[in-house]
Structure 1
Amino acid sequence: MPDILKDYFEALERLKNGKPINVPKGGRITNDLVSLEAGRKKGTIKKSRPIFLNLIDAIDAAAKEESKPRNEMRERFDEVKAEAARYRRLWEEALAREVSLIKQLSEEREVWAKERAALIGSKITPIRGDRKWADEST
């Protein structure tokens, strides 16, 4: 393998490992990015040059491998997003139940207050009268 190709393949390995020297981290692996990482100008890797055919195949394979983790991350993100939506729906349903129970309790208290008022009205005489039982027990 000529030295020039060795530089390109080493640059490709650094990019695959996420430890580039000459370019910023996180770029998509392309022919131009490998050229820049190898210390060459953009556009030096061309399909028309037979010496680069194996390198171009390796770059394409690395680009495909690189895109797979992103798809996995996107799938995981979608799963987490769906789970968050599910929990939000459950939370909203629980809130709706609580509001319904509070309304029912309020209505029951109103009915109880009316019944109590009807029982305590002038038709009933208290048995104990106005005695203060607490004073007598001391």
Structure 2
Amino acid sequence: MSEALEAYYAALERLKKRGSKINNDTVAIEAGNKKGSIKRSRAVFEDLIKAIDAAAEEIAEKRAEPKAKIKQLTDDKKSLRQLLDESIEREINLLDEIYTLKAQLEAYTAGKIVQLKGGRDTSRQ
């Protein structure tokens, strides 16, 4: 492998470690050459270009992962917020029902308690 190709491969590895945008021009510039020095028409660069394309795809996938995770977390947050709102609504309805039942109980027990025939007064236990 020629010295120039080794420089290009070393530049590609540095860009991969940094997570920078990778394409033929960025590899060439990182290697200390001019933009456009890596040409698809030259057979000597065939393997290098394949490596650059693979690395670019890998970096693109890594950059997409956090965006997908953020979207998933946002969706989860909306779902949890909806569940919370529904549970609060249920609790308010139950509290309203308890209040109504307590009011009814108070109305029934406000007067004298009449003991039914044959029944026991269990309130004195």
TM-score, L = length of structure 2: 0.71
Match of 1:31 in 2: 24
Q: Name the CA distance, whole Å, in 1 between partners of 2:20 and 2:13.
A: 14
- Identity among equivalent pairs (%): 38
Residues 61-98 of structure 1 show CA distances to partners (whole Å, capped at 9, x for unaligned) of: 11122233344444544444443344323322221111
- Is it true that 1:103 corresponds to 2:99 in the alignment? no
Amino acid at match of 1:58: A
Q: Which residue of 1 aligns with 2:45?
A: 52
| Aligned equivalents of 2:102, 2:57: Cα separation in 1 | 68
Greater helix fraction, Structure 1 or Structure 2: 2
Alignment of 1:4-83 (within 5 A): 4-18=4-18, 26-83=19-76
Counterpart of 2:34 in 1: which secondary structure?
A: coil
Letter in 1 for 2:58: E
* Number of equivalences: 113
Looking at structure 2, the residues matched to 113 and 51 of structure 1 have their Cα atoms a distance apart, in angstroms, of 94
Report the TM-score when normalising by structure 1: 0.65
Which whole-Å CA distance do the structure 1 matches of 2:59 and 2:48 have between them?
16
Structure 2, unaligned runs of 5 or more: 115-125
| Aligned-partner Cα distance in 1 for 2:2–2:109 | 101
Q: Aligned partners of 1:70, 1:27: CA distance in 2, in Å? A: 10
Which residue of 97, 105, 108 maps to 1:112? 105
Query: Bigger CA drift: 4-13 or 46-55?
Result: 46-55
